[in-house]
Structure 1
Amino acid sequence: MRRHQDTRARVARAVQACGLAVWVLTGTMMGQANVASAYEVWLTDQSDTGKESGGYLHIYDGAQLAATPASAKPAVTIDLAGDIGKFCEEATKKPVRRPHMLFFNNDQDHVILSFLSGHVLFMDAVTKKPEACLSMGKNVHAAWPTPDQKMAIAANIAEKKFIRIWTDYRAHKFSFDPEKDVVSLAAFEGAERPDTSPICPITEASSRYAFVTLRGGGLVVMDVTTTPMKAVAMLDNNQIHPAGCGGVQVGDTMYINSGGGWPVAPLSYDVYALNLSGLPNSISAKLISQRDEKFADSHGMVGVGRYVWSADRAGNNIEIIDSLSNLSVSAIDLTTEANRDPAPDLMDVAPDGRYVFVGLRGPNPLTGNDKTAQNAKGTIPGVGVIHVDADGKVGHYKGQAAISNMKDGKETADTHGIAVRR
């Protein structure tokens, strides 16, 4: 799941605001690149780097990665079992493990990493220094920063909790109140919402409504601006199928998916368009794409101009949907001679919209894989590069940069979180 609001005006503001800071970090590697084109691609590797702990954070120079993906190497690699691991263990009394998702705040000066060990880490994106490490309990699958930069919303799958974290990036303060900022979603379970474990929450542009996909299917829409937070609308598992982890607002429409990887849905590929006009009283969903008869698994999603790009993790391709018509207009095959099973996952787009970067899973996926289907099993872990054409209607695959974490002759690296720092 990517940071999922993509408008040209917002990109322009983000580039203008953070371009100089990014240039300071990467200018020596950029050669003749100008300030406006400088950006970074951040990628997590979920495999252990300590004793049942850690993981890697790889940071690429975006222009170099886009130009020559096969030879690109990270400009920075951080072992999360090192100083950051110690920082989190001191703060929470337990080690970090499985860095699963990462997102940047709107100003691009902070990154939020969520760990399946239950940690949410707030880190200065320029200095790469940790500022706060909070425990969300047994698990946290994703922590999404609201566009207004006042909150991050987190999903605890294991304990069926939806959590609001208050964020003050300028003051470097991050906190939540277990009594006021945590909602138990178990209260919403029933015959048509049999498992309300939250998967991937996302807010729309106003930062008021959070759309929370559920492991057993269905959707809960939360008003995150009230205390306590309030569920204002719901859909059941007939309207939204299980375990969606992809979402992006394009124009006035929110797009989400349902996907595979869980016993309830080893394989599943559905893309929905949500009509927001009825909020706060109601929400409606229209199924606009499905692949029921195929070996398919919908996971990552990103907006590229007016187009919605949806990754098929099992099918090794990316579907492109026109948001004006909600029709599928093209697809990108990611299989190559070098990598016959890339297993595309989460995605993000370059600031100028010319490239999309996609995480590619490895041969030993640590999360989101049903072994009866092997929906998330790939061949070579790393990050793929896609050249964008026709303003997002078409894409051409350029290749990938591989990552590795070999242990006893076994490739354990497993790509997951990915985000572009503009």
Structure 2
Amino acid sequence: MKNKLLSIACFSIAFLATSIVNAKDGYEVWASDQSNSISDAAGVGVKGSYLWIWDSKDIEAQLSGYGDAKPIGCGKNNNGQSVNNAGPCDLLDIFPQDLMEFNAFGNPTGNRLSDLNGFGRLHGVIADPQNRYVTANIFAPSGGYVGIIDTRTKGAVALFRVTGTNDGGNVGTRSVHMSFWDASGSAIIIANLNGKVLERINIIRNESGKIKQALFNRSASLGVGKSMSVTVPATYFSGKNQQGNKLIGGIVGDYSEADFGDLTPNGYCKENGCLSGFDGTFGGRPNNVIICPITSKNNNLYITLGGGGLLIAKANTTPMMIVGEYGNEAVNGAGCGGVGVGTDMWINGGVSASNAGATQSTFSMYTIDDTEFSASANSENTPMPTEVFKDPTNTKTNGNVNGINLVNQTGQLPDVTTRRDAHGAVATTDGNYVHNVDRIQNVVEVFNATTFERTTYDLTSYDGQGSGIGPCAAKSVDDDEGLPINDPTPDLLDATPDGKYLMVALRGPRPVSVGHSAQGSCPGVGIIEVLNDGESGRLLGVLRSTNTVDNSMAPAPGGYPYSGREHSDVHGAIVVRK
């Protein structure tokens, strides 16, 4: 299905849109490119990044045959008027490198942003419920930065560096994998992955919804590791953005009021092996690197974990409080895809991002009744999740005790691999179906939100059912004849407000993250046409991204040893309503 094609024929984004608007109101597609925006960087995804933004009018024009949509730039003034309309946007321009770092007392640390390491790898941007701002999640190892960008002006609003902890015995361990807004847009919940801390920024708005202040609340922190301590406090940055507007930001609260204890409210180890308690049942939680704190409309946070298991916390308590806990046999690990439909939260399970993931194969999907969590903590594994789907070929990893007790060494080459990797999930705008991608197999599994019936479509054929050649083939990288083409490799995705399309990130030939599952041939954003009232779909077009500035080397274990110049690697795509 993903094989190298001898001839090419061309035929003509986890998050639920909260309302359906007329297509004439328009939208923008924002895509996060993890590759470096400079050459000669010290590694992959460590300095800068590109943000790609396309307007819906240009997207429709491309689909109608009027040429490729052109990305717009971020050089806009305070009134949202374009100054420099050429895209993509360089992360190093959005957040100027002369921004000054400040501590909790409002005193400068003496560091400029340019002096600090790890300002790169734009892992994803997430829109607030009002579609006025996005969080910028900067995932370079040891960096730990999270920013806020205005969707109208495309200018930076705030920038923070999260808490460093002692996890793993290293001073200052931290990284921002992703962050999500709460249901009202009054808080940003941060997954400090390597620091094993859930953190919160309080957002204060005026009556029109404009953010007036963003305050990193240290008291709200929830540590989920064991024997934890803070080694490097959080900081914020001040100065002017590229439009000349001053960034906002500050730090409140105290770590002494946060929850860095070993135990859950039920008295079990948050993470297996703590000294002051016992491991939880159903496998407990072996490795609590935080992947995605997915928020529900009831302000519950579904904290997916690298080693499996699940913690559910309240977003609006200080500190954030655990109200639900699950072992990794109840909810398998490495999930990063979730969406609320009705009273249910849908959560998936995939393969580990660590090197161990190179021989794992996992595609699992669960639902949990979100109304079952209140202000007090539930007993363990209550309510039990509903297992909607688990591929029978899943390996015995990340808590899947009934899996195949063998490693899967088929790699990720098209037409060779038998591995699976569930990732991003999104609901159709009417809430009737949930679409969940498989990064390795280039398919989308669709679940009826009521009956749980499953259907499948592919992203490589013209019709999504195996007939004809899909548009990724014509948009594939062509500077290395050995690279398998028509290999979309889908990742995070989002729905357009009119319900016509799903916009899905497509990975590149030099994947910056999860190299063993993410090599693709047509980096950019895939336009999936939703078919059969949401039950199916097909890849209709590709918004192509490119980056030949970056010259770092990124291996793709189990894939093809690509030798060309293309480094673009889009990990996340969202839709921003105008």
TM-score normalized by structure 1? 0.87
- Name the aligned partner's letter for residue 172 of structure 1: K
1:417 to partner: Cα distance: 2.0
Aligned mates of 1:39, 1:252 — CA distance in 2 = 28
Q: Structure 2 regions of 5+ residues with no counterpart?
A: 1-12, 74-87, 103-111, 164-173, 226-261, 263-269, 273-278, 394-417, 462-469, 475-484, 552-563
Say which is worse superposed, 79-88 or 248-257, in terms of deviation. 79-88
Aligned mates of 1:158, 1:267 — CA distance in 2 = 23
Instruction: Check whether the contact 1:242–1:264 (CA below 8 A) recurs between aligned residues.
Output: no
Alignment partner of 1:174 is 2:298: no
**1:126-155 CA distance string (max 9 Å, x none):** 011111101114210011011211111111
Q: Which residue of 2 aligns with 1:270?
A: 364
Change (3 A) 1:66 1:147: farther
1:89 to partner: Cα distance: 6.1
- Name the aligned partner's letter for residue 125 of structure 1: T
1:132-143 alignment to 2 at 5 Å? 132-137=158-163, 138-143=174-179
Change (3 A) 1:311 1:83: closer
Alignment partner of 1:4 is 2:38: no
Alignment partner of 1:125 is 2:125: no
Instruction: Check whether the contact 1:59–1:75 (CA below 8 A) recurs between aligned residues.
Output: yes
Change (3 A) 1:239 1:67: farther
Q: Which residue of 1 aligns with 2:125?
A: 102
1:277 to partner: Cα distance: 3.6
1:62-81 alignment to 2 at 5 Å? 62-68=56-62, 71-76=68-73, 77-81=88-92
Instruction: Check whether the contact 1:149–1:168 (CA below 8 A) recurs between aligned residues.
Output: no
Q: Which residue of 1 aligns with 2:519?
A: 377
1:397-412 alignment to 2 at 5 Å? 397-406=539-548, 407=550, 409-412=564-567
Aligned mates of 2:314, 2:180 — CA distance in 1 = 15
Answer 1 or 2: which has greater helix percent. Answer: 1
1:3-82 alignment to 2 at 5 Å? 3-6=14-17, 10-12=18-20, 15=21, 34=24, 36=25, 38-50=26-38, 51=41, 52-68=46-62, 71-76=68-73, 77-82=88-93
1:107 to partner: Cα distance: 1.0
Q: Which residue of 2 aligns with 1:317?
A: 443
- Name the aligned partner's letter for residue 345 of structure 2: M
1:396 to partner: Cα distance: 2.1
Instruction: Check whether the contact 2:220–2:317 (CA below 8 A) recurs between aligned residues.
Output: no
Change (3 A) 1:257 1:325: same
Identity in percent: 31
1:292 to partner: Cα distance: 4.4
Aligned mates of 2:154, 2:364 — CA distance in 1 = 37
Instruction: Check whether the contact 2:457–2:536 (CA below 8 A) recurs between aligned residues.
Output: yes
Instruction: Check whether the contact 1:268–1:292 (CA below 8 A) recurs between aligned residues.
Output: no
1:383-398 alignment to 2 at 5 Å? 383-398=525-540
Change (3 A) 1:272 1:85: farther
1:256 to partner: Cα distance: 0.8
Aligned mates of 1:87, 1:420 — CA distance in 2 = 30
- Name the aligned partner's letter for residue 43 of structure 1: A
Alignment partner of 1:165 is 2:201: yes
Aligned mates of 2:94, 2:529 — CA distance in 1 = 36
**1:166-191 CA distance string (max 9 Å, x none):** 1124243112232x121110130115
Change (3 A) 1:67 1:210: same
Aligned mates of 1:274, 1:332 — CA distance in 2 = 27
Instruction: Check whether the contact 1:235–1:283 (CA below 8 A) recurs between aligned residues.
Output: no
Q: CA RMSD of the aligned region, Å?
A: 2.1
Instruction: Check whether the contact 2:16–2:495 (CA below 8 A) recurs between aligned residues.
Output: no
Please, which of 191, 195, 202 is the counterpart of residue 287 of structure 2?
195
Q: Which residue of 2 aligns with 1:251?
A: 342
Instruction: Check whether the contact 1:41–1:60 (CA below 8 A) recurs between aligned residues.
Output: yes
Instruction: Check whether the contact 1:276–1:283 (CA below 8 A) recurs between aligned residues.
Output: no
Aligned mates of 1:212, 1:67 — CA distance in 2 = 40
TM-score normalized by structure 2? 0.65
3-state SS of paired residue (1:241): coil
Change (3 A) 1:67 1:286: farther
Count of paired positions: 392
Aligned mates of 1:183, 1:251 — CA distance in 2 = 28
- Name the aligned partner's letter for residue 75 of structure 1: I
Aligned mates of 2:92, 2:224 — CA distance in 1 = 32
Change (3 A) 1:267 1:352: same
Change (3 A) 1:323 1:405: same
- Name the aligned partner's letter for residue 489 of structure 2: A
1:263 to partner: Cα distance: 3.8
Change (3 A) 1:233 1:46: same
3-state SS of paired residue (1:227): coil
Instruction: Check whether the contact 1:301–1:311 (CA below 8 A) recurs between aligned residues.
Output: yes
Q: Which residue of 2 aligns with 1:156?
A: 192
Instruction: Check whether the contact 1:66–1:355 (CA below 8 A) recurs between aligned residues.
Output: no
- Name the aligned partner's letter for residue 276 of structure 1: D
- Higher radius of gyration, 1 or 2: 2
- Name the aligned partner's letter for residue 184 of structure 1: G
- Name the aligned partner's letter for residue 317 of structure 1: V
1:201-240 alignment to 2 at 5 Å? 201-207=293-299, 209-240=300-331
1:333 to partner: Cα distance: 3.2
Aligned mates of 1:175, 1:317 — CA distance in 2 = 41
Q: Which residue of 1 aligns with 2:501?
A: 355
Alignment partner of 1:298 is 2:422: yes
Change (3 A) 1:319 1:176: same
Change (3 A) 1:193 1:291: same
